[in-house]
Amino acid sequence: MGISSDVVSGEEHKAIQNESWQHLASHSVSQSAAPITVKGEVGGNVTIFHLNEGPVEFFYFQRGTEYVNGYHSTKPLNDSVPWPNTRLSEDKRTLYMYNLNISHSGNYECYVNKNHERDVIQYIVHLNVTAKYTVPEVKMNCNGLSCMVTCSSYGGYPKNSMSWSIPGSQKVWKEVDSNVTEDPNTMMMNIVSTAYFNCSNGELQHNRCSVGEVTSDMFRVCE
């Protein structure tokens, strides 16, 4: 159902105060049927929005009240600076986003008007950016009676935890410390987990630690 301009939400109205987009306030806004989910990885590229039909009179893409990219068939957009990591296709119906990082995750809105129609269609796009954790690095410190083993994995997202796969009796080992920290610059996560092993029963073989689907090389302890 169309929403008349006098009941468009405060955030939407604030978002269209840019002079190049004042005309949006004279249109009814209809929301698309369902949000669009787009998945990407840190450092990668995505097609964040694609319109199957055209031509397009105007195309306005934003996050919150921040302009991301857009196009108008008849008006210049001199005061609308697009994000440097976005690009519109030549036919103005596809928006690409590249060199992704975690901060790009979130909800976006796209306003589209086709063929000078009265209604503007609002699309909600959710971008989910993830990062693969590194293969866990294994370090150990043994004294003959016991071993302390540390597994470390870096640069992943979202937050996760270290899992240990130790065949045999649970009584011979236990996790004694686990820390997950966020890199303040990249927002990606680092995981360090330490386990204690009792070596009184001899060598333990075929051990692994993992974060999600990323698994360490097999290691021996108490050799």
Tens digit of each residue's pLDDT (9 = 90 or more) over 2-33: 222 232 333 443 444 454 455 555 556 666 66
Give 42-95 pLDDT, tens digit per residue: 999 999 999 887 678 888 899 998 999 998 888 877 778 999 999 999 888 899
> In terms of pLDDT, which residue wins out, 140 or 76?
140
pLDDT averaged over every residue in the chain: 85
Q: End-to-end alpha-carbon separation of the chain, Å?
A: 70
The predicted pLDDT at position 42 comes to: 97
Residue bearing tokens 């986003």: 97
The predicted pLDDT at position 3 comes to: 28
Q: What residue type is assigned to position 12 of the chain?
A: E
The predicted pLDDT at position 18 comes to: 52
User: Is residue 143 scored above 90 in pLDDT?
Assistant: yes
Give 107-129 pLDDT, tens digit per residue: 999 988 877 666 788 899 999 99
Show me where the domains of the chain are located: 5-130, 137-221
| Torsion angle, alpha carbons of 128, 157, 15, 28, to 10 | 20
The predicted pLDDT at position 206 comes to: 94
The predicted pLDDT at position 85 comes to: 97
What topology does CATH give the domain 5-130?
Answer: Immunoglobulin-like (2.60.40)
Residue 13 carries which DSSP code?
A: H
| Torsion angle, alpha carbons of 107, 111, 114, 120, to 10 | 120
CA distance 69 to 86: 7
Strand 36-41 with 173-182, pairing: unpaired
Q: Which of 27-36, 121-130, 138-147, 182-191 has the lowest mean pLDDT?
A: 27-36
CA distance 23 to 11: 16
Q: Does residue 176 contact residue 195 with C-beta atoms inside 8 Å?
A: yes
Percent of the chain exceeding pLDDT 90 equals 62
For 189, half-sphere exposure in the C-beta direction (CA atoms, 13 angstrom radius) is: 17
Task: Classify 99 in phi/psi space as left (phi over 0), alpha (psi -120 to 50) or beta.
Answer: left
Q: What is the CA radius of gyration of the chain?
A: 26
CA distance 220 to 1: 64
Percent of the chain exceeding pLDDT 70 equals 83
The predicted pLDDT at position 54 comes to: 67
* Top-tier CATH class for 137-221: mainly beta
Whether 5-130 and 137-221 share one fold: the answer is yes
